[in-house]
């Protein structure tokens, strides 16, 4: 096995697209060792329980635990049921440091219209009116000259008025809004008070006619998956609420009103917020959480099934064409000993991206295969040092409490620990329990009394 080829196959930043054969060969189904099958529940809600009516679901979990990959799996399964699925990463269109609900709706409109154009759904008459209204926001209601110092944009939009597609027209708006805070502010000032009307326009002129056309083509319906919305910053808005609470609590009810099946990824920290009760009142169903991969049980015993799955995830990147048993026979080509491979899986706590990141660092520093224990321990030491630099004495105290009680209790302190991946949430028999990121167990502070 060539170490450069192996390094390229374990890219921690790459989301596996299950519908693509090259990616599918690397996919490992962790459902049996997560403790809860949230994806099957989402699929059943959309494809069976509410097949003929709109639905709105929230999906959460630790950043990097595999949500995007599992949502692509859901997409593939829904497409097999003849649903048209629009799955996109919202942070490509939205400034996660400054989010308004108008941004979310415009991004959804852009992505849905692009998908409908792609599969040749006839354009409803209302779609053209929507793009013209979008153009007017920039050219008439918003003082573009003050924002951009030029009137070029107005000329561009005027010349495009009767020629561009809906998605291209909205893209011209969202791109400028993302890149210029002044335009974003003016757009919010103009469309914010009209957000109910904007929502009605999206439903009446885009989504509902689109679904009707899709069904005429043999589709079962429309599903929109808004990924990476869980990555929005938690900084305060002018109202005093955090951005996350503003979007999912204050504006949560509006998020449920789109006339299709829609799934939003939600920041995990909101599950531990004092506003979580209010959040659940805004949405028809409680958020679905993707648990971590279990590497040990709550009673402290090993979870051999979870460790085996993590090992297969790594070995599948090296030997995708082999059976699971055949891959195990080739461990020695990648790792110095089976024990050092086991150490890698345990120290990352069942967090998929953390495992791939540590493995990537290990490969990069080793510069050859097989990988040795000494280099892994150096990489673990580096990672532990990076994580501990910003931990306060109070946070060490909270971490020791988590280690002892397997619970989280203090909203403010624990919310930061979870958001920073210092504490992981696991599920066992439908019950949550918590543990400290194993990397931090290497730190002397975890043993202080």
What tens digit of pLDDT does each residue of 310-356 get? 999 999 999 999 999 999 999 999 999 999 999 999 999 999 999 99
| Domain final position from 289, 307, 341 | 289
Q: Looking at the structure, do residues 196 and 329 belong to the same domain, yes or no?
A: no
| Domain final position from 232, 263, 289 | 289
Q: Looking at the structure, do residues 444 and 376 belong to the same domain, yes or no?
A: yes
Residue 149 has pLDDT above 60, yes or no: no
Whether 156 is covered by a domain: the verdict is no
Q: Looking at the structure, do residues 300 and 281 belong to the same domain, yes or no?
A: no
Q: What is the CATH number of the domain that holds 49?
A: 3.40.50
Given a contact cutoff of 8 angstroms between Cβ atoms, the answer to whether 85 and 223 are in contact is yes
Cβ partners under 8 Å of residue 446, min gap 6: 396, 399, 400, 403, 436, 440
Q: Looking at the structure, do residues 313 and 397 belong to the same domain, yes or no?
A: yes
3-state helix, strand, coil in the chain (%, to 5): 60, 10, 30
Question: Which pLDDT value is given to residue 152?
Answer: 44
| Domain final position from 289, 322, 355 | 289
Range of the domain at 8: 1-17+295-448
What tens digit of pLDDT does each residue of 174-214 get? 888 888 887 788 778 777 888 898 899 899 989 999 999 99
Domains identified in the chain, total number: 2
Q: Looking at the structure, do residues 227 and 300 belong to the same domain, yes or no?
A: no
Residue 122 has pLDDT above 50, yes or no: yes
What tens digit of pLDDT does each residue of 352-388 get? 999 999 999 999 999 999 999 999 999 999 999 999 9
Residue 141 has pLDDT above 70, yes or no: no
Q: Looking at the structure, do residues 207 and 307 belong to the same domain, yes or no?
A: no
Q: Looking at the structure, do residues 390 and 245 belong to the same domain, yes or no?
A: no
Q: Looking at the structure, do residues 302 and 337 belong to the same domain, yes or no?
A: yes
Q: Looking at the structure, do residues 330 and 410 belong to the same domain, yes or no?
A: yes
Whether 182 is covered by a domain: the verdict is no
Whether 305 is covered by a domain: the verdict is yes
Q: Looking at the structure, do residues 267 and 361 belong to the same domain, yes or no?
A: no
Q: Looking at the structure, do residues 328 and 421 belong to the same domain, yes or no?
A: yes
Report the distance separating Cα 245 and Cα 242, nearest Å: 5
Q: Looking at the structure, do residues 222 and 272 belong to the same domain, yes or no?
A: yes
């Amino acid at each position: 096995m060539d170490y450069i080829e192996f390094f390229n196959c374990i890219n921690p930043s790459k989301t596996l697209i299950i519908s693509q054969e090259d990616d599918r060969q690397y996919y490992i189904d962790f459902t049996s060792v997560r403790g809860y099958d949230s994806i099957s529940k989402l699929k059943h809600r959309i494809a069976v329980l509410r097949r003929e009516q709109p639905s709105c679901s929230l999906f959460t979990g630790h950043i990097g635990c595999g949500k995007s990959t599992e949502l692509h799996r859901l997409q593939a399964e829904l497409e097999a049921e003849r649903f048209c699925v629009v799955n996109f990463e919202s942070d490509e269109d939205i400034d996660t440091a400054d989010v308004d609900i108008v941004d979310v709706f415009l991004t959804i409109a852009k992505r849905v219209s692009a998908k409908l154009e792609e599969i040749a759904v006839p354009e409803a008459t209302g779609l053209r009116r929507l793009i013209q209204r979008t153009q007017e926001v920039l050219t008439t209601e918003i003082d573009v000259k003050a924002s951009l110092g030029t009137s070029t944009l107005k000329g561009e939009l005027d010349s495009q008025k009767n020629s561009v597609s809906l998605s291209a027209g909205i893209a011209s708006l969202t791109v400028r809004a993302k890149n210029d805070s002044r335009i974003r502010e003016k757009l919010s000032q103009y469309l914010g008070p009209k957000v109910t009307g904007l929502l009605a326009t999206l439903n009446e002129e885009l989504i509902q006619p689109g679904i009707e056309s899709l069904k005429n083509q043999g589709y079962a319906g429309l599903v929109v998956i808004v990924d990476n919305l869980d990555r929005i910053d938690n900084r305060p808005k002018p109202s005093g609420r955090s951005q996350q609470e503003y979007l999912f609590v204050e504006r949560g009810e509006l998020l449920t009103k789109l006339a299709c099946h829609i799934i939003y990824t939600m920041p995990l920290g909101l599950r531990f917020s004092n506003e979580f009760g209010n959040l659940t009142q805004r949405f028809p169903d409680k958020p679905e959480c993707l648990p971590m991969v279990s590497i040990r049980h709550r009673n402290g015993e090993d979870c051999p099934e979870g460790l085996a799955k993590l090992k297969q995830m790594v070995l599948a990147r090296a030997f995708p064409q082999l059976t699971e048993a055949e891959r195990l026979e080739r461990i020695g080509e990648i790792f110095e000993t089976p024990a050092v491979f086991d150490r890698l899986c345990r120290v990352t706590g069942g967090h998929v991206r953390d495992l791939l990141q540590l493995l990537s660092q290990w490969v990069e520093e080793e510069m050859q295969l097989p990988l040795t224990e000494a280099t892994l321990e150096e990489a673990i030491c580096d990672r532990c040092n990076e994580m501990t630099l910003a931990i306060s004495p109070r946070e060490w105290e909270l971490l020791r409490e988590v280690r002892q009680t397997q619970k989280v209790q203090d909203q403010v302190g624990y919310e930061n620990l979870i958001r920073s991946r210092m504490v992981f949430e696991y599920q066992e028999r439908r019950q949550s329990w918590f543990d400290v990121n194993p990397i931090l167990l290497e730190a002397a502070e975890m043993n202080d009394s």
